[in-house]
Amino acid sequence: MNATDGLRPVSGNVLRVGRVLTVAFAVLAVGAGYWQVIRAPEFDRAPDNPAVIAAGRSVARGIIRDRDGTVLVTNARDVNGDPYRKYADRSLSTVLGYVSRQYGTAGLERAYSAELTGAVSTDPLGGLFGGSGASTVRPDDLSLALSLPLQRAAVKALGASRGAVVMLDPATGEILALASTPTFDASAIANPATAAGAWGQVSTDPATPLLDRATLGQYVPGSVFKIVTSIAALATGAIGPATSYPQQPGAERDGLLVSGYRVRDGHHPFTGSGTAAPLRFDEAIEVSCNIYFALTGLAVGGERLAESAASLGFGAPLPFDLPTAGSQVTNGGGSFGGGFSDDVELANAAYGQAQTLVTPLQMALVAGAVANGGVLMKPHLVTGISGPDGTRTVAPEAWRRVISNEGAQTIAAAMERAVEGRWGRLFTPGAAVPGIPTAGKSGTAELEGTLQPHSWFIGFAPVDHPRVAIAVLVEGSGSGGQRASPIAGSLLRLFFATVGR
């Protein structure tokens, strides 16, 4: 009806804009469907979901047991009759975490909040018939792979030091001990009567007891990282068991010149005369030769080292029941390959310095992969969830193969020399278990400035048929042989005397 002014009428444009807006609303509808249907089951059991928290308020949470059936946590009731948690042992504080009405949840209590409170209700029409919205709550119980005696012993062995111990079954990925020191009194935080005081003290403690060092602590690895470099080198064929470097003996004395920077090695004067024969792979592991692994790192190359480390779990948080920090071989961003900035960084990283950072759990997995013939198992703490509807077992799950069986055997044999060998014994005193061939590698993580180095040990036993792998870290306590190796030895001995008998 409009005047014929030579222009197209606007109505066509209006309808086109309308179609665009309709599409936009269709996107909203798809988004709503995504969150409300597809992601809902996952969100409905998120520990910080207020529904899960609210359900946990009035519900006596499920029981948690260790691998022998020992009850690790029970419920008590406060003056109002509301339940709160009582934990069996302080050594469990970072594993089980706590439940507090004021301060939230942590640890397994947090990760499995939905199961422990029974708040998992995925049926949107379920519970409707209750009328009030309060449905019947049926908490689940958890069974852990953890061994309370081992856990206790690990915390005791660490003593007053800050550190962490991870023990696992290399064939299944089951975590047998996951200790972090200092510990804290989770029961005091859970008890509403003592929560405020306990929380105030724990949360401001400079020793950060709330930090689970085993899963979230990132440490310079030092020589234990040489196992990662070994896996990369043997898996990619960069070196073989007989590889040696003619320039290595001389470099022990003068240092290894890499792009004008001298990589030095001060640990083993007995091979550093400059006239001795070049070291082979197993000898280099036994005496923990930095020069050998710097050269190996350069032979592997940054890209392949980073890739191999990534296959071991580096570069991202590990799949685990608890939150984990990622481990790294470099800060990344460099142009040299694999994120390294140059060959100097690569050479230093290859023996665990430069920008390498690892968690104790990651290093336990490295030891476990070697022990398990090159197959990395997914680590897990919870082995079973049992509720009124029965028990759901968490089966062992292979993550990926990181090296061939022969390659793993080569490294295992070298690690055995590092514990049992003539020179190796000097680096890893106290790690050997009488009557059981033990493999291992110590590490001394040099820190910048005048800080005392971190003491590391990773290993497994028995060498021919490994049943336990271990990683021990003691912060700022000197060389690997001084603290970590004896702790590992005592825990391995306890393992074979109790759990693995």
Partner 1 sequence: MDGYALAVWIVRLAFLALLYVFLAAVTRILLRDLRGAAVGRASSLGRLVVVASDVAEPTAGQAFALGAVAPIGRDVNNAIVVDDSFASAEHAVLTFRGRTWYVEDLASTNGTFVNGLRVAGLAAIGFGDEVQVGRVRFRLERPPA
Partner 2 sequence: MTAPAGPVPLARPTARARLRPAPRPRELALLGIVAVALLAGSASLGATERALAGQPAVLAPVHPFQLGIYLAALLAAHLAQVVAGRRTDQVLLPAVGLLGGIGLLLMERLPQDLVGASIAGRSLGLSDVHLVWLLVAIGAATAVAVAARSDAWLRRYKYTWAAFGIALLLATFVLGREVDGALLTISVGPLSGQPSELLKVILVIFLAGYLSEFRPILATESTRLGPIRVPPVPYLLPMLAMWAVAFLIVVFQRDLGAAFLFFAVFLALLYIATGRAAYVVLGVALGILGALLAYRLFGHVRARVDIWLDPFADPLGAGYQVVQSLYAFARGGVFGTGLGAGLPLVDGRLPVPAIHTDFPLAALGEELGLAGVLAILGCYLVIVERGLRIAASAADDFRALLAAGLALVVGVQAFIIAGGNLRIIPLTGITLPFISYGGSSLLANGIVVGLLLALSDRGVGPPPAPRTPGGLRFRLGSRRGSAAPVGPATPARPATPAASAR
- Binding residues for partner 2, per CB under 8 A? 1-3, 5-8, 10-18, 20-22, 24-25, 27-29, 31-33, 35-37, 39-40, 42-44, 46, 48-51, 53-55, 124-125, 128, 131-133
Q: Binding partner of residue 395 among partner 2, partner 1, none, CB under 5 to 8 Å per kind?
A: none
Residue with Cβ nearer partner 1 (11 or 450): 11
Residue with Cβ nearer partner 1 (23 or 395): 23
Q: Does 130 bind partner 1 (CB under 8 A)?
A: yes
Residue with Cβ nearer partner 2 (79 or 125): 125
Q: Does 25 bind partner 1 (CB under 8 A)?
A: no
In whole angstroms, how close is the CB of 122 to partner 2 at the nearest point? 8
Among 1-9, 351-359, 409-417, 454-462, which window interacts with partner 1 (CB under 8 A)? 1-9
Residue with Cβ nearer partner 2 (103 or 336): 103
Q: Binding partner of residue 13 among partner 1, partner 2, none, CB under 5 to 8 Å per kind?
A: partner 2
Using CA atoms, how far apart are residues 89 and 87, in angstroms rounded to an integer? 6
Q: Which of 3, 29, 30, 395 binds partner 1 (CB under 8 A)?
A: 3
Site for partner 1 in 167-196 (CB under 8 A): none
Q: Does 136 bind partner 1 (CB under 8 A)?
A: no
Q: Does 6 bind partner 1 (CB under 8 A)?
A: no
Q: Does 4 bind partner 1 (CB under 8 A)?
A: yes
Using CA atoms, how far apart are residues 357 and 371, in angstroms rounded to an integer? 22
- Residue whose structure tokens are 């968490």: 394
In whole angstroms, how close is the CB of 28 to partner 1 at the nearest point? 16
Using CA atoms, how far apart are residues 72 and 262, in angstroms rounded to an integer? 53
Q: From the centroid of its chain, how far is CA 410?
A: 25
In whole angstroms, how close is the CB of 54 to partner 1 at the nearest point? 21
State the DSSP string of 265-329: --S-GGGTTSSSPPP-HHHHHHHT-HHHHHHHHHHH-HHHHHHHHHHTTTTSPPPSSS-----BS
Per-residue b/e over 158-168, b at no fewer than 16 CB within 10 Å? beebbbbbbbb
Using CA atoms, how far apart are residues 57 and 1, in angstroms rounded to an integer? 68
In whole angstroms, how close is the CB of 131 to partner 1 at the nearest point? 4
Q: Which of 6, 12, 131, 260 binds partner 1 (CB under 8 A)?
A: 131
Helix, strand, or coil (residue 359): coil
Residue 418 phi/psi, 5° resolution? -70, -20
In whole angstroms, how close is the CB of 91 to partner 2 at the nearest point? 28
Residue with Cβ nearer partner 1 (131 or 434): 131
Residue 467 phi/psi, 5° resolution? -120, -15
Site for partner 1 in 100-129 (CB under 8 A): 128-129
Per-residue b/e over 331-348, b at no fewer than 16 CB within 10 Å? eeebebebbbbebbbbbb
In whole angstroms, how close is the CB of 152 to partner 1 at the nearest point? 50
228 CB-contact burial (10 Å; exposed 0-12 / middle 13-18 / buried 19+): buried
In whole angstroms, how close is the CB of 10 to partner 1 at the nearest point? 15
Radius of gyration over alpha carbons of the chain, in Å? 27
Residue with Cβ nearer partner 2 (28 or 160): 28
Residue with Cβ nearer partner 2 (46 or 447): 46
Element (H, E) at 357: none
Residue with Cβ nearer partner 2 (51 or 447): 51
In whole angstroms, how close is the CB of 32 to partner 1 at the nearest point? 14
Q: Binding partner of residue 4 among partner 2, partner 1, none, CB under 5 to 8 Å per kind?
A: partner 1
Q: Binding partner of residue 450 among partner 1, partner 2, none, CB under 5 to 8 Å per kind?
A: none
Residue with Cβ nearer partner 2 (100 or 223): 100
Residue 114 CB neighbours (<10 A): 22
Helix, strand, or coil (residue 440): strand
Residue with Cβ nearer partner 1 (1 or 23): 1
Are 263 and 347 in contact, with CB atoms under 8 Å apart? yes
Listed as own residue / partner, the contacts of 127-136 with beta carbons closer than 8 Å and 24 or more positions apart are none
Contacts with 212 (C-beta within 8 Å, 6 or more apart), sequence order: 94, 95, 107, 178, 180, 322
Please name which of 352, 302, 362, 355 lies closest in space to residue 326, comparing C-alpha atoms.
Answer: 362
> Which stretches of the chain bind partner 1, using CB under 8 A?
1, 3-4, 128-131
